[in-house]
Structure 1
Amino acid sequence: MWLYLIHIEKLPEGVYLATSDDVSGLVAQGRTVTETMDIARDVAKKLLEAQAERQEDLNLPPVGDSVDFSLVVGL
Structure 2
Amino acid sequence: MEKILHLHIEKLPEGVYLATSESVQGLIAQGRTVAETLEIARDVARKLIEAQQEDELAALPTVNDAFDYPLIIGV
Common fold by TM > 0.5: yes
Amino acid at match of 1:60: L
Q: What is the aligned length?
A: 72
Is residue 36 of structure 2 the alignment partner of residue 46 of structure 1?
A: no
Matching residue of 1:22: 23
Aligned amino acid, residue 63 of structure 2: V
CA offsets, 1:6-63, max 9 Å, x none? Answer: 0110000000000001111100000000000000000000001111xxx441111111
Runs (5+) with no aligned partner, structure 1: none
Give the whole-Å Cα distance in 2 for the aligned partners of 1:73 and 1:48.
Answer: 29
Q: 2:55 — aligned with what?
A: 57
Alignment partner of 1:35 is 2:33: no
Q: Secondary structure at the match of 1:61?
A: coil
TM-score for the superposition, normalised by structure 2: 0.87
TM-score for both structures, normalised by structure 1: 0.87
